[in-house]
Structure 1
Amino acid sequence: MKRVIVGLSGGVDSSVAAYLLKEQGYEVIGLFMKNWHDDSVTISDECPWLDDSNDALLVAEKLGIPFQTVDLSEEYKERIVDYMFNEYERGRTPNPDVLCNREIKFDVFLKIALSLGADYVATGHYCRKDTILKEGKEVHRLLAGKDPNKDQSYFLCQLSQDQLSKTLFPVGELLKPEVREIAKEQNLVTADKKDSQGLCFIGKVRLPEFLQQKLQPKQGDIIEISSTEEMYNKTIPNFNSKEEELEFLSLKYQYGVNNGKIVGKHQGAHYYTKGQRKGLAVGGTPEPLFVIETDVKTNVIYTGQGKEHPGLYRRGLFISNDELHWVRSDLKLQVDEKLDVMARIRYRQSLEKATLHQVDSGMYIVFENPQSAIMEGQFVAWYKDEELVGSGVIS
């Protein structure tokens, strides 16, 4: 009997994951990760981790498996929260859920599980893994979940071959309604529990208030840029090299205060992110204002009217070599190689046709169609068919 430690989060997906593994004959142990102590910044009055750990305990009792709680709040603060503050301060938009999987669930948690004699760890993620032989070596493939509405492979885009080799995803072959059905049949307390929202393990937070713990409010101007601004109609020059063209397609627009008009005030450029519509508190425009750029150095937010504003769109992006990650290291591109893929720049986005171009300093990704709100700090992930093969942090 192989031993599997399941990250029981107190939700329905991990509860069913534990049940399925037990049915398959594994020795299953439930482990709840407590990662957050500060309830002052969560929106809901109830204390989310307390309710969740109680539900996880009830599920473990129902399934007749051992259960314990580990406190990882120190590691979580160091590796996730401090990183978030740092990224927002630099005017970037981090994705804490991707980081949480790389740094906490499949690193700190995985090491604890292995020290408890586990052969594998398992989570309730909607994705699949299979293993193929290539040149006599085992290669683990990270595949999209069967449920197209719930596929969570994007959140695992930073995992390594080593991490995948010790991981199981029991609900990846199921649709969400089937998971709920199994939970009902087994009378699990989590059967009808709503899916958790907000930051991985923290619950729903008010981001500005959360960031204000470290980043002080600082008043600045909100500037509106017209969609007819000259820079949006620049002619495409003749390029001397492919790399020049890639750089041109990936350049973001550079704004100055003279490009538009002041339409309001904000309390800190680092609280805002590209593509954001809510929280600007500027009315009286025919179409809603969207953030098209933030400048944390000058503390200015640039906005434009409507979600079709040209300032929101571009076709290319760049990833520096040190922020490039191949889940399938055997498919890694060499300098001057290119690869056609399907890619996404955020979790809920549909996959889009794109081409990877490896250069000396990193990798360009050029999309067939312009993409809205490409944000530095976000993760871009690319796929061949249903397999996620690599990812990187947008520079």
Structure 2
Amino acid sequence: MPSQKKNKRRVAVALSGGVDSSVSALLLKRQGFGVVGFYAKCWLPSENDKCTSDVDEKRAMMVAKQIGIPFYSLDLVEDYKERVFKYFVETYKRGETPNPDVVCNKELKFGILFDKVMGLGFDYFATGHYARKTKDGKFIKAHKDSKKDQSYFLARLDKEKISKIVFPLSDLTKKEVREIAKKEGLITSEAPESQGICFIGEVNLREFLSRYIKPQKGLVVEYETNKVLGEHQGVFYYTIGQRKDIRIPGGPYYVIKKDVNTNTLYVTKDKDKLLTNKIKFNDVYVFSENGLSGKLEAKIRSQQEFKRCEIKKDKNGFFAIFDEPQWGVAPGQVIAFYKQKKLIGSGIIE
């Protein structure tokens, strides 16, 4: 947390309508900062969506009034469609599994929203993420509460912006945040956890994707025998390791491979076949001047414990060689790398 100076420093807080960002704004005001709340409207809900953006916006406005800070809502709907949602759909079309929360943070929350509000003369930009920063303020660190750590979702941020970012919840657990909100009577104290797609909410993924990717019948094939087991409506509706919605008798079956060119879904009953020690990745982004090399820790999912690995590079690209086999590695997902819990870089799994 940056220290206060004689002249009041101004902080823009990204208010989502949830308890985390609300308590973040409250804590900053208590510390004497000049706090202003901003809500980013990124999706227009339809009758077929469970999108709660209108409710979230109203809740954010009301909690800002409770805390006693100015509040503004910014329309980023078109920016979201172009920079996040387009990527989301196109990645599924390629047969890969996107990570919209990571891209949303980079392009929207810490991208367009950050740029707009910092352009208004604010000193810092704060969010309700469960993450920390190193003492020198140059790097992001994993949160002390491993079950709530959200540093993985920040693995693609522009490193030049980190010094201006504040995480007021860096030393608090979720339980403690809820308790603060209840004690202060904030209307967000019982607000539900964010679920589903970033800024869209919880949806039936297959039904939602079918609006943007036309269903196409294909074969479900047993991986070991090439025996045809049934049909599916499109390989892009599935991800590696998925068990749900395969609908083949005699299971459970797990998705082990997808052939986009032939629209063939390969499945197996042997879940151990989805284990691998070696993960290839590309589109490398580093926070450290030393780059990615040697022995590090990594995450291929946000709530995963740190796993030891060694980074190697050859003419074919970058590889993470893990001490323990990793299960259900999905192309398109982010792999985040750490050293002593300090986030030092990331890549996209091939």
Q: Give the alignment's TM-score, normalised by structure 2.
A: 0.95
Does 1:17 pair with 2:21? no
Q: Is the 2:217–2:234 Cα contact (8 Å) retained in structure 1?
A: yes
Cα separation, 2, equivalents of 1:292 and 1:168: 41
C-alpha displacement of 1:131: 4.1
Cα separation, 1, equivalents of 2:220 and 2:81: 32
Does 1:271 pair with 2:226? no
SS at match of 1:331: coil
Give the paired residue count.
343
2:119 is matched with which residue? 115
Alignment deviations for residues 98-147 of structure 1 (CA, whole Å, 9 cap, x no partner) = 00000000110001111221111110000011343xxxxxx602111121
Cα separation, 1, equivalents of 2:94 and 2:108: 23
Cα separation, 1, equivalents of 2:220 and 2:316: 35
Does 1:179 pair with 2:177? yes
Q: Which of 102, 105, 130 is the matching residue for 1:126? A: 130
Matched letter for residue 83 of structure 2: R
Q: Is the 1:342–1:353 Cα contact (8 Å) retained in structure 2?
A: yes
Give structure 1 regions of 4+ aligned residues with deviation exceeding 6 angstroms: none
2:218 is matched with which residue? 220
1:344 is matched with which residue? 299
Q: Which of 264, 285, 292 is the matching residue for 2:256? A: 292
SS at match of 2:221: strand
Cα separation, 2, equivalents of 1:102 and 1:361: 27
1:252 is matched with which residue? none
Matched letter for residue 110 of structure 2: F
Q: Structure 1 pair 66/163, CA: closer, same or farther in 2 (3 Å)?
A: same
Cα separation, 1, equivalents of 2:174 and 2:211: 37
Cα separation, 2, equivalents of 1:357 and 1:41: 46
Matched letter for residue 280 of structure 2: F
Q: Which of 277, 283, 298 is the matching residue for 2:249? A: 283
Alignment deviations for residues 175-230 of structure 1 (CA, whole Å, 9 cap, x no partner) = 1110001101111001112211111111112212222222111101111224xxxx
Does 1:52 pair with 2:56? yes
C-alpha displacement of 1:30: 0.4
Q: Is the 1:41–1:205 Cα contact (8 Å) retained in structure 2?
A: no
Q: Is the 1:32–1:53 Cα contact (8 Å) retained in structure 2?
A: yes
C-alpha displacement of 1:284: 2.5
C-alpha displacement of 1:362: 3.5
Q: Which of 271, 291, 294 is the matching residue for 1:307? A: 271
Matched letter for residue 194 of structure 1: P
Matched letter for residue 324 of structure 2: N
C-alpha displacement of 1:283: 2.1
C-alpha displacement of 1:93: 0.7
Identity %: 43
SS at match of 2:140: strand
1:369 is matched with which residue? 324
Cα separation, 2, equivalents of 1:306 and 1:62: 54
Cα separation, 1, equivalents of 2:349 and 2:18: 31
Structure 2, unmatched stretches of 5+, are 1-7
1:30 is matched with which residue? 37
Q: Is the 1:41–1:209 Cα contact (8 Å) retained in structure 2?
A: no
Cα separation, 1, equivalents of 2:47 and 2:141: 38
1:230 is matched with which residue? none
Q: Is the 1:12–1:180 Cα contact (8 Å) retained in structure 2?
A: yes
Matched letter for residue 143 of structure 2: G
1:392 is matched with which residue? 347
Cα separation, 1, equivalents of 2:313 and 2:163: 27
1:4 is matched with which residue? 11
C-alpha displacement of 1:360: 5.1
RMSD over aligned Cα atoms: 1.4
Cα separation, 2, equivalents of 1:59 and 1:327: 35
1:195 is matched with which residue? 193
Does 1:208 pair with 2:206? yes
Q: Structure 1 pair 107/82, CA: closer, same or farther in 2 (3 Å)?
A: same
Cα separation, 1, equivalents of 2:25 and 2:195: 21
1:250 is matched with which residue? none
C-alpha displacement of 1:358: 3.1
Q: Is the 1:342–1:354 Cα contact (8 Å) retained in structure 2?
A: yes
Q: Give the alignment's TM-score, normalised by structure 1.
A: 0.84
SS at match of 2:311: strand
Q: Which of 67, 70, 73 is the matching residue for 1:69? A: 73
C-alpha displacement of 1:375: 1.4
Cα separation, 2, equivalents of 1:306 and 1:276: 13
Q: Which has the larger radius of gyration?
A: 1
Q: Is the 1:291–1:303 Cα contact (8 Å) retained in structure 2?
A: yes
Matched letter for residue 270 of structure 1: F
SS at match of 1:217: coil
